Each structure stands twice: as structure tokens, then as C-alpha cells.
């Protein structure tokens, strides 16, 4: 796996894919390209630049968990079991996934503080990509129980807003 940046550059964009392609062309082993793949379009540009057939999705998969399945489909890679669909910005779409992460963290005996740190980092990636506009509503939650409660409240508000919007459209 080649990350397309130096250690000093860290996560700072851009990722430099061209040198990954140079390594791939001069190597007898499969090369995995990584860096700044936040969407299917990014993956396509990375593939075009590197000639790679293998990719590592990092923060892009955290910001949009459905990206894994979307990219696998594009690369004609079979998926053994259904993965998460594209999440978008809806709180209801994220609730199930966050609930699953909390349950897994409990089974692994991870502290709630560590779990919350991971969830907030994850949601912040999605927020920075414009997916999770409601991040400010949950970022100050102190426990996973509180965060899931706030998400539930947001889900109810989304449902009420959608119902109100549908009723307005029917009346016009």
C-alpha cells in the first residue's frame, strides 16, 4: 500500500498519485493506491493516474460507509454480504451504523469515552465533506447513550419535517 504522501505531509491534501503509478509500473507485485479517495470519482481519477486495480479507502469510507460497496461494484469485485448503503446526510441513515459500532465496542470491552472519540471523528469527516450537517447537534454528547438519544431526536425532527413538507405539497 502506497499512501501518496510523505510522513511530514500527513493527511494534508493533495495525495500524489502519479508516483504510485510509477512504482506500480516498475513492480512485479500488486500495488495498492491510497490517499484522498473520498468518492467514486476520486477512485476513478486515482485509477487513471496510477493504473492500479487495488485501492485502500481510509477516511473516505468513514465519511461515507457506502463508498466501499460503490467502489467494489465499479471494480467488479464481488461482495460476500451486503454492506452499508450510501448514507447521505440523514440522521436516520447513520443511527443504525452508530448503534452497531457502539454494540461492537461494548463487546470488545472498549471504554465509552474511546468509542465516542471514534464516532465523533468519523462524523466529523462526514461533516467536513458536507454529508452530516447536523454534527453540531451531537458533537457535545458525553456518552454513546446521549449521542444515540440526540440522533433519535433528529430522526423524529426529520420525519416530522418530511411529513409537514408532504402535507404542504398535497395542499398546493
Is 60 exceeded by the pLDDT of residue 115?
A: yes
Specify whether the CB–CB gap between 35 and 4 falls below 8 A: yes
Residue-level pLDDT at 167: 46
State the Rg of the chain over Cα: 19
Residue-level pLDDT at 85: 64
Residue-level pLDDT at 164: 54
C-alpha cell, 74: 465499479
Candidate from 3-7, 74-78, 125-129, 151-155 with smallest mean pLDDT: 125-129
Count the helix, strand and coil residues of the chain and give each as a percent rounded to the nearest 5.
55, 5, 40
Identify the band that residue 170 occupies on the pLDDT scale cut at 50, 70 and 90: very low
Residue-level pLDDT at 82: 63
Amino acid at each position: 500500500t502506497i499512501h501518496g504522501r510523505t510522513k511530514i505531509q500527513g493527511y494534508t491534501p493533495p495525495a500524489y498519485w502519479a508516483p504510485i503509478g510509477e512504482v506500480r509500473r516498475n513492480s512485479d507485485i500488486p500495488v495498492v493506491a491510497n490517499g484522498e479517495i473520498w468518492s467514486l470519482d476520486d477512485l476513478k481519477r486515482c485509477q487513471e493516474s496510477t493504473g492500479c486495480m487495488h485501492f485502500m479507502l481510509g477516511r473516505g469510507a468513514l465519511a461515507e460507509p457506502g463508498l466501499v460497496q460503490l467502489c467494489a461494484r465499479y471494480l467488479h469485485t464481488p461482495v460476500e454480504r451486503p454492506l452499508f448503503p450510501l448514507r447521505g446526510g440523514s440522521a436516520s441513515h447513520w443511527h443504525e451504523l452508530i448503534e452497531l459500532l457502539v454494540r461492537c465496542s461494548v463487546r470488545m470491552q472498549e471504554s465509552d469515552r474511546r468509542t465516542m472519540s471514534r464516532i465523533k471523528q468519523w462524523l466529523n469527516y462526514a461533516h467536513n465533506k458536507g454529508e452530516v450537517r447536523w454534527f453540531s447537534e451531537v458533537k457535545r454528547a458525553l456518552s454513546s447513550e446521549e449521542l444515540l438519544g440526540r440522533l433519535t431526536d433528529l430522526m423524529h425532527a426529520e420525519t416530522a419535517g418530511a411529513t409537514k413538507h408532504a402535507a404542504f405539497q398535497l395542499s398546493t
